[in-house]
Structure 1
């Protein structure tokens, strides 16, 4: 068994696998950075709109932000409906605008950070994140980014770095 594994994982292959692992690590770091920034923006927005328990709700939104788009709606939706039922239309509109801002901000910043960290043009990254999110949510984003990075590496790699068996 070890002979087969040693045959498959040559020095070039080990370097390739290590490089992919580093790129996956970069993807997770970018996602966590975006989640932290979104949490801070949400907390700040809740404080500005004078939402009760702004800090705690912001933290919950940050945790749920890992689930793209539908995650934070579990907090924003009831808050918006509660403020409408209470007659606080300005706060409800403010919450809706904050939610829309967070969606667009997340897409733009996540794409920018990932394309910079992984040194890939933003357009394929935008498409990968969008398609991945639509297909499988959070896992789809990770897999789509890994796919784009791998395809980019295969298309533009040096011949001496190719995987060999």
Structure 2
């Protein structure tokens, strides 16, 4: 009788124990991933880069007869050359645009100052004189109260502007100070990727000697294939979105007969990759400037162009991302919303990435394997 009662109880305790083990392993894995990202991000990037480059290295080594080390060096050299060339092209376009823009800035600033001076004498000065007359008619207590309130608002504004200036200076200082570390990390990434790619066969053999490798090999291989396919779809989707933004802005600027239309459209497409801000970094200051200089037609036209570019991206982004990474548009929107609410701007990237990993784990049957382990069901 006692044995019959202890049997189900023992099973429930084993299920609870296995559930705790699985939960603990997941927590440890997430903690290890967080620690690795914080402390060993360049090495992780090198590992991912070498995994993506291994098929290319194997193809070059097979077709040319080169050793794997030379094939790895050649592949990384080509990749590095392409990256540097793209950066130089972008830098040259930016320098040309900035140089041309700097020639027109003095005249535009002079015109803006003249407009501000005219506006001051035509509108602000009469209003100020009326305000002074009204102020003179108030009692001393009322005048004192207004002065205190005005000084408080002025102090708040000064503190706000001072805080912005301090943050901008701090960000600039951090950026400049991080350049040596960034350069060192970049060199380390390429060197680590070279050695990992060159010795990939030896690394695979050593991994095969581990006791749990045979069990994890098939699901890990399938997971990696799904991850590559999903990453390729995500990159393809971003290229499509950026290209559409660039084409739309370029056509709009050509219609408006704007100088340096291609450079502006190209830069706008690049900043469109920045979550949440996007092309507003370019268009909002530009629209405000046109309004202050009384170019109202261009103000309205740029506002319409900016609004159209934002709306078209918001409409097609979920659809293109869903076709690229295989997720429903509504699910992506929910992930973007909660990611932003919980983690800020970083959540706009982390949210979809978490969804992608959950989807990949589902496709490789990881959740089913974990559940079968918890309930004690043997794999068939």
Relative to its length, the structure with more helix (as a share) is 2
- The structure with higher relative contact order (CA 8 Å, sep 6+) is 1
What is the CA distance between 1:119 and its match in structure 2? 2.9
Greater gyration radius? 2
Aligned residues of 2:237 and 2:321 also touching (Cα < 8 A) = yes
Q: Distance in 2 between matches of 1:65 and 1:108?
A: 15
User: Residues 59-106 of structure 1: CA distance to partner in whole angstroms, max 9, x if unpaired?
Assistant: 110111110342322211222122112211121122112212212211
Match of 1:32 in 2: 239
The equivalences for 1:10-29 within 5 A come to: 10-29=217-236
Q: Is the 8 A contact 1:132 1:140 kept in 2?
A: yes
Give the conservation status (yes or no) of the 8 Å contact 2:340–2:348. yes
Is the 1:12–1:161 contact (alpha carbons within 8 Å) kept by the matching residues of 2? no
Would you say how many aligned residue pairs link Structure 1 and Structure 2? 163
Question: Over aligned residue pairs, what C-alpha RMSD do you find?
Answer: 2.9
Task: Tell me if 1:6 matches 2:196.
Answer: no
Gaps of 5+ in 1: none
1:52 to 259, 269, 289: 259
Contact 2:290–2:296 (CA<8 Å) still a contact in 1? yes
- Following superposition, the deviation at residue 149 of structure 1 comes to 2.9
Q: 2:314 — aligned with what?
A: 107
Q: Aligned equivalents of 2:351 and 2:234: distance in 1? A: 11
Q: Give the 3-state SS of the residue equivalent to 2:279 in structure 1.
A: helix
Q: Distance in 2 between matches of 1:74 and 1:158?
A: 41
TM-score (norm 1): 0.80
**Any idea what SS the aligned residue of 1:39 has?**
helix
**Deviating more after overlay: 79-88 vs 38-47:** 79-88
In 2, the alpha carbon distance for the partners of 1:44 and 1:36 equals 12
Question: Structure 2: which 5+ runs fail to align?
Answer: 1-205, 374-380
